[in-house]
Amino acid sequence: MEPFIYAAQAARVVFGSGTLGSLPAEIDALGLGRVLVLATSQQQAEAAALADRIGRRAAGVFAGARMHTPVEVTAEAMRLVERDGIDGLVAVGGGSTIGLSKAIALRTDLPQIVVPTTYAGSEMTSILGQTEGGAKTTLKSLKVLPEVVIYDVDLTLTLPPRLSAVSGINAIAHAVEALYAQERNPIVSLMAAEGIRALSRALPVIVDDPHDRRARSDALYGAWLCGTCLGAVGMALHHKLCHTLGGAFDLPHAETHTAVLPHAVAYNAPAAPDAMRTVADALGAPDAARGLYDLALRLGAPVALRDLGMPEAGIDSAVAAALKSPYWNPRPLDPSALRDLVARAHAGEPPRS
């Protein structure tokens, strides 16, 4: 056994069906009396219903969360936090809402209770990505790690099949990179393999029958594991590319992960053979990169960045940005090979090692 370091992330997790009913008790346990409920504009009705459930503890609703956590949106929410004497946050939704909650917590250290409705996994990490002036940057701080995460399978039953698919592959990306991350360790590797296995088993069932409770439960379980992996170790080339592309071209987050992941895996395959075998085994496929690409096709998920709105003229600038401040990666970054990776992802071609 090789030496390793494992740092557990301290967060309370409540998992099951109907667990949203525990929200008032979780708020009381944290001693909160004026919480702000956060959501996107699309989930404003859900946020309002949640505020009603909380009752007198809810001081208001801010339904302005946006993709990639723009700093100007955070500033708008902060004015509400300061004006209304908010002492805690309740975020309901996916990565956009959770990102806003984290951004507020970074600035205030307010406690957070997160109620995920997608498979993004951000709720289990101390990582925050923020966008300013078209550039997305990330940071790590225990201040942004939520205190409580309530996973309620019932809340995922209405998640559309297409969004379920890309959200699930986004989660798988966290586990894949955890297997070859610089800080990888045996505990995280076990969780990563199980998370990939659970999601790859559940997602095709969900696409065929969105109301299959067993599959929904497996997918949410896998998302929790994959998010935990991302929170415990560092990121590599895949996440760097997705952060660069998302911030520069305002591409949808989960869809971008879905299109890029097979190609980033193919790029790193020669440098991380053990990780690739684990991914392939978890997928039930002979090859990790092709298995991820085929899974996306099976789910009807997008595999081409051009279909998400990225211009072909942006390939070179994206490569330059990824090379400018790279994350650690098991394979050194070669500009020519990296351009080929992005070009293939842009066109939606099969991955090539």
Q: What does the pLDDT look like over 148-190, one tens digit per residue? A: 999 999 999 999 999 999 999 999 999 999 999 999 999 999 9
Choose one of 156, 174, 190: the last residue of a domain: 156
pLDDT, tens digit (0-9, with 9 covering 90-100), for 47-76? 999 999 999 999 999 999 998 899 999 999
Number of domains within the chain: 2
- Is residue 175 located within the same domain as residue 323? yes
Indicate whether 208 and 272 sit together in one domain. yes
What is the per-residue pLDDT across 105-145, written as a single tens digit (0 to 9) for each? Answer: 999 999 999 999 999 888 998 889 898 887 888 888 999 99
φ/ψ region of 176 (left if φ > 0, alpha if ψ in -120 to 50, else beta) reads alpha
* CATH number of the domain bearing residue 48: 3.40.50.1970
Q: Is residue 353 part of a domain?
A: no
Q: What's the domain range around 132?
A: 12-156
pLDDT value for 234: 82
Same domain assignment for residues 74 and 99: yes
> Which residues does residue 353 pair with via DSSP β-bridges, in sequence order?
none
Whether residue 7 lies inside any domain: the answer is no
308 and 180, same domain (yes or no): yes
Q: What is the pLDDT of residue 243?
A: 87
C-alpha 2/C-alpha 193 separation (Å) is 19
Helices (H), 109-209: 161-179, 186-208
Question: Residue 64's pLDDT is what?
Answer: 95
**Domain end (from 156, 179, 199):** 156
pLDDT in tens, 333-351: 999 999 999 999 999 999 9
Which of 125, 156, 187 marks a domain boundary?
156
pLDDT value of residue 134: 76
One domain for residues 141 and 170? no
Is there a domain that residue 176 lies in?
A: yes
Assess if residue 1 is contained within a domain: no
Give residue-wise pLDDT tens across range 203-247. 999 999 999 999 999 999 999 999 999 888 888 999 999 989 988
Give the pLDDT of residue 36.
Answer: 98
Q: Quick one: pLDDT at residue 9?
A: 73
Neighbours of 128 (CB within 10 A): 23
139 lies in the same domain as 214 = no
260 belongs to a structural domain: yes
In this predicted structure, the answer to whether residue 325 has a pLDDT above a threshold of 90 is: no
Residues 138 and 215 in one domain: no
Residue 207 lies in a domain: yes
Pair (133, 260) in one structural domain? no
> Tens digit of pLDDT for each residue in 265-285?
999 999 999 999 999 999 999
What count of Cα atoms within 13 Å lies in the side-chain half-sphere of residue 233?
30
pLDDT bucket at 39, cuts 50 / 70 / 90? very high
Residue 4 lies in a domain: no
Q: Is residue 218 part of a domain?
A: yes
Higher pLDDT, 2 or 85: 85
Claim to verify: residue 67 and residue 170 sit in the same structural domain: no
Give the model's pLDDT for residue 1: 63
Shared-domain flag, residues 222 and 284: yes
Same domain membership, residue 170 and residue 248 = yes
Same domain, 88 and 218: no
- In the Cβ-directed half-sphere of 95, how many Cα atoms lie within 13 Å? 26
CATH of the domain at 177: 1.20.1090.10
Q: Strands (DSSP E) along the chain, which ranges?
A: 12-16, 35-40, 58-65, 88-93, 112-116, 127-132, 135-140, 148-152
